[in-house]
Structure 1
Amino acid sequence: MDAFKALGLSDQTLEALTRKGFTEPTPIQEATVPLLLSGESDVVGLAATGTGKTAAFGLPIVELAEPNAGFVQALVLCPTRELAVQVAREIGSLRGSKRLKVLTVYGGQPFGPQLKGLRDGSDVVVGTPGRVLDHLRRGSLDLSELTFFVLDEADEMLDMGFIDDIQEVMSAASPDKRSLLFSATMSRDVMRIAREFMREHEVVSVQGSEEKPLTEQYFHEVPEMSRFDALTRVIDCADDFYGLVFCRTKADVDEVAERLSSKGYPAEALHGDITQGRREKILGAFRKKRTQILVATDVAARGIDVPDLTHVINLGLPQDSESYVHRIGRTGRAGKTGTAVTIIAPREFGKLRWMSRAADVNLPKRRLPSGEDVVNARKSRIAAEAMACLESDNFTSCMDLAATLLEQGDPMEVLAAVLQQANGDRLDPASYTTIADPERSGGSGGLSGNVELFMAAGRGDGLSLQKLLDFIHEETGVFKSKIMDVRLFPKHTTFAAPARDAEVLLRHFKNSDGGRPLIRRDRSNGGPAPKRGGYQRGGYHRNKGRGNHRAA
């Protein structure tokens, strides 16, 4: 506790930290708390999710806020309802016996209790941008005397399109406020917010701290049709699986969760079409571990803060490296180890390699557990659970049945029969199909699998996903449904297509005069764009007077 005391915290706050079991500050807390307690500058804090950012800004707020001031002294904006509730709960636990009123405001809940809380003089308000704006426009929230303005998970909020809301809220706050921006990544939009809306500020970064290796990261490469079976093998071979499974679409989330449930796994689906009431019940069951597997989209999982997750599984690749960092940041937290597993089909290898480089992570390939591995893991769990039951003496109600069965034959055979009856073919390695390590054909030009392609035009040329699909279909007759994994960059685009369709595209855009074709094989695997000069056929390039299909 001496380390916390050295940060300048009062005895009252130290007592609250002791009750919470905190003994040592995390790096972001150690760097940020003294700045906020003693200085006057704004602060930009860069640290991964789960490194103690809430206490980094919550402790100074608790220290400096005055009880019963009669006005809002601190406002914390969060990207999601769940994160707002968690942040408010954390600040409430840090205040100890100090009589600070902490109020949470977010959409999907009635205005009445929130209005009452504001009228009663809340000292700290934690909320989502939309509902905070609603209160500002109603006149029920006054930020004219605000001391602290906090943007938590700023990069997430900007990714969700809240930049205009954030600007409006910041403009309504006292010009004398101190602005605190906390983010896992320093994106261009985050830098813009800091530059335009913060005064002179100090940047505190604990990126690359010792907490990063706590999450073991690797990938399995399997045929597309074996992706779900690969998922169940990862779950089955884990000692005590408790984690998030990420899918790209709502339909994928529903399908995977339903298939897991039908096989007896305690799984639930979470995506944007689920009502707020149902969402809160699902998350409540997940936090209590009644549900051990949560299948979710990126958007639906934002703000979920469960510190004990053992695994994060990417069943579908995220859109970019920043999303990957956010996903895996949900495990390996608060000093605990975690595992992040990415399951890909061969066509996704190039994108995964690019993503790992952009995220600066080492992502080795691992052999997928075999049927024998799964059976051995199941047997180990059954044996451990049986021994725990023996030690607990919690089996007396079955003694009569055990005696009856043992009279019928050899004890070992009787026990084997009981295990067989209870587990069926799950303990038989022969019941598991063989999942072969697939040959990767993405860049080889074979007529099986998918081929990764490069197009010498991007967003800067006015290209969009729809325009790309329309252009390819009009030029070549290749159906839009055949184009997948599209990634639009400022000056180029990469995508994949089944090998036969890719050959159609390559033949169509092949030039007879030696110039570079508009579409060719992508040999960069998501890396920097090759030189663009001299591309022929099909507009979407910057060379004046060339091409017939310039984007509008």
Structure 2
Amino acid sequence: MILKENIVSFDTFNFHPQIKAGILAAGYSTPTPIQEQSIPVLLSGRDLLGLAQTGTGKTAAFALPILQRLMSGARHKPRALIVAPTRELAEQTHLFFKALGKQTGLRSLTLYGGVSAQPQIKGLQAGVEILVACPGRLLDLMSQRYVDLGAIETVVLDEADQMFDMGFLPAIRRILAALPARHQTLLFSATMPPEIRKLAMETMHDPATVEINVSRPVDTVQHAVYSVEQEHKVDLLLELLPQAKGEKVLIFTRTKHRAKRLSIQLSKAGLAATSLQGNLSQSARQSAMDGFRSGRVKVMVATDIAARGIDVTHISHVINFDMPDTPEAYTHRIGRTGRMYNVGTALSLVTPDDLPMLRTIEKNIGRRIERRQLAGFDAQPQSSDRPASFDSREPRPSASPRRQPAAQQRRPAAESTRRS
């Protein structure tokens, strides 16, 4: 069952005045499609299967009904549980609850690994109503009897497909088994692999389904690709970054080592850049996120897993320094821009080896991505079995002597990726 409502204002939902104050302070006026369709369902107490890509406003779609439910009933014990795949997503969901519920007196607490458990234990002992947790740390604290899920009324599995990809499905089953027999279950996912659908069927009771352009990027994102040889990617990137005009840029690489190295290269070129990758301590990750969120740092280089769930406003550009491994990963990446009806740009640096994935991505999003060229960077065939041009459907102009990329001429400090 796919539900459709005709809501045009948050006032229609009749939220508690203290929640309305949070909505007003957050600057919300018109619900996004997933909010418009999900909130009435959740307020009625039904289970919900929400299918929507990143950037559609799903966090507020479940946070507001949870706050409304918690306004009545017991305090100082966990009654709502949100399970997230990464600590960054957990922190950002926590911040949503803090902002939207600022006037309610309801408290939320994050539980995740990589940091000392003692502050989290103290927070639990002080009493909270909302837990936002990563599976591993939650199970650890449950086994030590610091967490009791016996009073949970609503559980949210956020980014369920990513949790499956990260191997959390057994942990999720253990967590769900510890919940009371009667509770509301919300499952949000950008894609719906068979394993997630099976989990939904096993754990949810007559769920409503809200489906918003599943597995396709938001329409407010402009896509383009640039042809480039691998060894000239850094130089091309330095030529493209001024397009952002001082706004925030999120760059994706394939590995954490590459993310760290690229952020150093950009810093040497005089840019305010940082990285978000698995080798960072939690304090360093938080510092990187704080700098990027505040705008002190304009460029963040990240891997797919580290960046999962990043919810930072006004990211003008997402750049695929390395192409993703799947079309779904492309959707998740570029969903960090063009959020909440803002216009964003997604640029991809594509080598001849990336052409098969480019074709797959185009098929997935249902349109051909614009090809752009920057003089001096067009990829050249490397062997007889390579395509004769960047796109076989576009004949290459007659060959001419290749000039040194302009970025290399002006920026000797920018290292070549071949040497690293």
Query: Paired residue for 1:226?
Result: 232
Is the alpha carbon distance of 1:12 and 1:209 closer, same or farther for their aligned partners in structure 2, counting shifts above 3 Å?
A: farther
Which residue does 2:32 correspond to in 1?
26
In structure 2, the partner of 1:386 is none
Cα deviation, residue 361, structure 1: 4.4
Match of 1:128 in 2: 134
For 1:448 and 1:364, the matched residues in 2 are separated by 19
Alignment of 1:513-528 (within 5 A): none
Among residues 435, 438, 441, which one is paired with 2:379 in the alignment?
438
Q: Deviations over 1:397-445 (max 9, x none)?
A: xxxxxxxxxxxxxxxxxxxxxxxxxxxxxxxxxxxxx33x335578x63
User: For residues 84 and 361 of structure 1, do their structure 2 counterparts lie closer, same or farther at Cα, with a shift above 3 Å needed?
Assistant: farther
1:265 is aligned, of 265, 271, 274, to 271
- Tell me how far apart the structure 2 counterparts of residues 448 and 22 of structure 1 sit (CA, whole Å): 51
* Mapping 1:535-546, distance limit 5 Å: none
Residue aligned with 2:319, SS: strand
Following superposition, the deviation at residue 266 of structure 1 comes to: 1.3
Q: Distance in 2 between matches of 1:169 and 1:273?
A: 28
1:336 aligns with 2:342: yes
The reply on whether 1:55 has 2:57 as its aligned counterpart is no
Match of 1:503 in 2: none
- Aligned residue in 1 for 2:175: 169
Structure 1 residues 57 and 366, CA gap change in structure 2 (3 angstroms): same
1:115 maps to 2:146: no
Q: Is the Cα contact below 8 Å between 1:8 and 1:34 reproduced in 2?
A: no
Shift of 1:446: 6.2
Match of 1:64 in 2: 69
Could you say what secondary structure the match of 1:334 adopts?
A: helix
User: Counterpart of 1:147?
Assistant: 153
SS in 1 for 2:9: helix
Query: Where do 1:341-356 residues align within 5 Å?
Result: 341-356=347-362
Would you say 1:196 and 2:202 are equivalent positions?
yes
Amino acid at match of 1:438: A
Shift of 1:284: 1.3
Q: CA RMSD in A?
A: 2.4
Residue-pair matches, total: 383
Deviates further, 117-126 or 357-366: 357-366
User: Which position in structure 1 is the counterpart of 2:185?
Assistant: 179
> Which residue in 2 is equivalent to 1:87?
93
What letter matches 1:50 in structure 2?
A: G
Within 1, Cα distance between the matches of 2:110 and 2:232? Answer: 44
What is the CA-CA distance between 1:68 and the residue it aligns to?
A: 4.5
Equivalent in 165, 178, 199 of residue 159 of structure 1: 165
Instruction: Report the Cα distance in structure 1 between the residues aligned to 2:202 and 2:256, rounded to whole angstroms.
Output: 36
Going from structure 1 to structure 2, the CA distance change for 1:57 and 1:448 (only over 3 Å counts) comes to closer
CA distance in 1, matches of 2:116, 2:217: 40
Contact 1:103 1:124 (8 Å CA) reproduced: yes
Alpha carbons of structure 1 residues 254 and 238: separation in structure 2 relative to 1, 3 Å: same
Q: Aligned partners of 2:190, 2:156: CA distance in 1, in Å?
A: 14
1:312–1:341: 8 Å Cα contact kept in structure 2? yes
Give, in whole Å, the separation in 1 of the partners of 2:76 and 2:277. Answer: 39
Asked if residue 45 in structure 1 is aligned to residue 50 in structure 2, the reply is yes
1:242 maps to which of 243, 248, 267: 248
Amino acid at match of 1:172: A
Residue 428 of structure 1 corresponds to which residue in structure 2? none
Letter matched to residue 81 of structure 1: R
**Structure 2 SS opposite 1:192:** helix
Give the deviation of 1:69 after TM superposition. Answer: 3.0
Supply the distance in 2 between the matched residues of 1:449 and 1:8 (Cα, whole angstroms): 58
Match of 1:301 among 297, 307, 311: 307
- Contact conserved, 1:28 with 1:47, CA < 8 A, in 2? yes
Residue correspondence of structure 1 range 328-477 to structure 2 within 5 A: 328-368=334-374, 370=375, 434-435=376-377, 437-440=378-381, 445=385
Structure 2 residue matching 1:283: 3-state secondary structure: helix
Distance 1:270 1:97, change over 3 A: closer
Q: CA deviation at 1:208?
A: 6.6
Q: Contact 1:250–1:297 (CA<8 Å) still a contact in 2?
A: yes
Q: What whole-Å deviation, never above 9, does each CA across 1:254-288 have from its counterpart, x for those lacking one?
A: 32222211111111222111111111111111112
**1:310 partner SS:** strand
Q: In structure 2, give the amino acid aligned to 1:43.
A: L
In structure 1, distance between residues paired with 2:348 and 2:50: 29
174-183 or 109-118: bigger deviation: 109-118
> How far does the alpha carbon of each residue in 1:331-352 deviate from its partner, in whole angstroms, 9 at most, with x for none?
1101211110010111221221
**Larger CA deviation: 239-248 vs 206-215:** 206-215
SS of match in other structure, 1:213: coil
Post-superposition CA distance 1:209-253 (Å, at most 9, x none): 998221101101112222211111111333234211111122322
Amino acid at match of 2:19: T
Greater shift in the superposed pair: 1-10 or 56-65 = 1-10
5+ residue gaps, structure 1: 371-433, 451-552
Work out the percentage of aligned pairs sharing the same amino acid.
37
Question: Is 217-226 or 163-172 further displaced after alignment?
Answer: 217-226
Q: Which runs of 4+ in 1 moved over 6 A?
A: 208-211, 446-450
Secondary structure at the counterpart of residue 346 of structure 2: strand
